[in-house]
Amino acid sequence: MNTKDAYEICHTIIKQHSKTFAKAFSTLPQKKRQAVWAIYAFCRTVDDIVDEGQSPSSELEQFEDQFNRFIRKELPLTDPKWIALDDVFQRFDMDATPFFDMIKGQRMDLYVKRYETLEEVEQYSYHVASTVGLMLLPVLAPSNHQQLHNSAIALGKAMQLTNILRDIGEDLNRDRVYLPKAIMDAYGVAEKDLLIGEQGTAFINMWEHIAARAENLYQEAFNDMHLYPVDARLPVQGAGMMYRAILKAVRLNQYNVFSQKSFVTKGEKEMILNELKA
């Protein structure tokens, strides 16, 4: 399979699984855009192993071994995802560390179902989300990606906290509670309250406490947006603002995160992008 076809398969994966991500990065120049597709396909593969694998622990171990062989240039390039990612590693100053950290984060999901503190949740968020930003940085900002390291970590954490706040009910169905127990206890929210979908004042105050941390992390990331090259600035900030808008959508849904999934409409996404262009 040629590289162009391999990238197109990765493009199909991102369009199927993350319209927001695909939309945000659709304005990048072709080579950067294709690299984003390939990196997303890698992340999606790891995510699917954990969520849908028949034997996720051993499958994740096999995948990590594949990536090790890929880095050592010992892996036969027959899978389109590896073909595309190989081209990315040849074109950009890629670092394998966040890729390995992402695998570590997904392994955490196999064994850790509850978190005690917000710091622990943020450490998890780094591994499953900030790593994506660090993978993308050499593509988005080839000449100064080291300067953007901390803000990329902040943006990833903010987006993952947003996911957690949106998907509380969905995660409960998979026996996962990412809300820190220390913060739940501080506001008098017990796990049994979550199981019955309690949306009272205590729950809302607890939710807003975590949302405030997410908002601060978004702001930390947005403070460095001027450091991105022009072609990447709009996509990165657009992706961040679209994700931040999910928090507003949850509020508009009366904090119903148990039986309803909050999302940002196509019109709202267009409005965010148009405001950024203005």
pLDDT tens-digit readout, 200-253? 999 999 999 999 999 999 999 999 999 999 999 988 998 899 899 999 999 999
Specify the pLDDT at position 19: 74
Of the candidate ranges 23-32, 110-119, 131-140, the one whose mean pLDDT is the lowest: 23-32
Specify the pLDDT at position 137: 97
Specify the pLDDT at position 277: 67
The mean per-residue pLDDT over the stretch 100-111 comes to: 95
The mean per-residue pLDDT over the stretch 135-155 comes to: 97
The mean per-residue pLDDT over the stretch 173-180 comes to: 96
Answer yes or no: is pLDDT of 278 > 60: no
197 contact partners, CB below 8 Å, separation of at least 6 = 169, 256, 258, 259
The one-letter amino acid at 274: N
The mean per-residue pLDDT over the stretch 91-108 comes to: 97
Answer yes or no: is pLDDT of 22 > 90: no
Q: Are 88 and 135 in contact (CB under 8 A)?
A: no
Torsion (CA) 269, 218, 10, 25 in degrees, nearest 10? 50
Residue 264: name the closest of 36, 33, 24, 37 by CA: 24
